[in-house]
Amino acid sequence: MSKESLVTLQQAFDERRSIYALGNELPVEPQAIVNMAERVLLHTPSAFNSQSSRLVVLFDAEHQKLWDIAEEKLRAAVGDGDFSGTKQKLDGFRAAAGTVLFYEDKNVTESLQEQFA
């Protein structure tokens, strides 16, 4: 990586801000997001180089379905309680163009726990 690339990347990190009003317009092709997420995952350090992190990238109907499932499960957990704040937050996530879901592979973690008790 060139020195200019490193400076540009560092500037991007320094100037990064959270955007809470998500929209469904992407400035790049969906595949570019998938490629970036895969590179981040590949180059993220992990304990014992276990590479236990996984990701799922969802767009369009699959993205909407994820947030429908999340709403269904959270409504069940809240029961008769006030769901309005949670609904507002979920609707904000649902309004995005897609979702990148990171998680840990429990099988890899459990294997490490057995090897290094």
CATH number at residue 33: 3.40.109.10
Which value, in Å, is the radius of gyration of the alpha carbons in the chain?
Answer: 18
Into how many domains does the chain fold?
Answer: 1
| 53 closest CA partner among 4, 112, 101, 6 | 101
Would you say 93 and 67 are in contact if contact means Cβ atoms under 8 Å apart?
yes
Per-residue pLDDT tens listing for the chain (117 residues): 666 665 677 787 788 777 678 899 998 999 999 999 999 988 888 777 788 889 999 999 999 999 999 999 999 999 999 999 999 999 999 999 999 999 888 888 788 788 887
* Cα distances (Å, whole numbers) of residue 116 to 19, 57, 105, 106: 40, 32, 17, 15
Full domain range(s) for residue 49: 3-115
